Structure 1
């Protein structure tokens, strides 16, 4: 009998001890991830240090508390203003030679240091270029460059006061076409000359509102076919790339307010002597000259 009681006590204790569980998860990290892509370059007579940073702890959870960056120059703390543009943080410095690394800090913890990047000033600075002209085409902004160097970096910003540490393109020509534009949006650009990975001082900033004011080319080879008293109008598409459809005019009056996306039109009210005109409409609602058939 006593053996049975002891066995029951043992089983009960075992079951309850198994039901008491500790925390199966490790504690959340409070340590920010380090900066991984710190870069430095020379632009004119100054250094530009820049980096991208995703606000994450080392366990990949998002940082929801304020952060700040502690900069070290030649192993010593360096106080300067860090700015942000286009997802990049950056700061400027002037010196003959320097090495930099950065630590991310919160109130509770700090990251490991970033890798250290070093740079030495090069006195052979390329000549500063100019934007000689900026204008719109049907689907792009064109920048004409005046400069004597063989390579240029193109920078794109939102207004005349902006600065971006990262260029959008390189070109070895004195003209650049930016197709990454949206109608009725303001774009600003500056450029630098590039020689042996040393950049010139940046040019003046020039801005433009992208507007397509150029009408498309008209459709081609329009034909009128009469069958059983119905007029069938057929044409070949315009060779302009930004055309969204076509308008049909009958005796000077528009037949469709919404541009047709087809290359034919059927007029069941055709009468002998009717005159038709077909025009092309582009994305900016520019209308081409018409092609007329009788």
Structure 2
């Protein structure tokens, strides 16, 4: 019903205003009792600040009794303790600034300082309390003005302290975030360096050959080399063996006997070779041990 006071349809808005005006004429003014609940409901609605201020200003304006105003000071101050939303703090302080204060009301506000000191860091809340102080100065007696000025100094002092505390907490949080970001960067950098080291290590391991494999390759190479050398040596020995009997050599019977262990066929062939004009001894079959020298003439002489 209170939201209808700001309805776009002017006819609905006028009917809502008429309703609350007639309600305030009741004996105990029900608006006084409903005001704290209306405040709480409107604070949670998606209302523009201007619309909220217009509604609460109209409802508070319908309360005329001083006692009800003084009672509302206490009720509204106690609501600061039950909320943590800065928007609601601003709305409650605005409602306080719309009250008509008496000396008792101002004293009540000073007595309940503990209930709202934690919200004085907000600039909008502080502005509303300054409006309250300025209103109180206009009607206050000289002896009361000194108390109001002390109260104002107290408000400003707590406002500055709370702002400094919030700034310190904000700087600490920012510093902590920077440290966390730096730690994450260092961890990520170390991880990249470890990964690069692993890659370089794998490449190095790939380039370094296994000693056992190298030994096996070297042994195979040595065996192949030995085999080739052996083949070359055998081939060279064969060539030397084949080239041993030259045409100009003279083979004696003792030479033929010495070469018997090497090859019987070659020994027999070598023993029958003679140099120019040389005749082999004649063996007598009846007497193998006797050798007869040839008596015929040779080409070189007797």
Establish whether TM, by shorter chain, passes 0.5: no
Higher helix fraction (1 or 2): 2
TM-score interval w.r.t. the shorter chain? under 0.3
Q: TM-score, normalised by structure 2?
A: 0.23
Higher strand fraction (1 or 2): 1
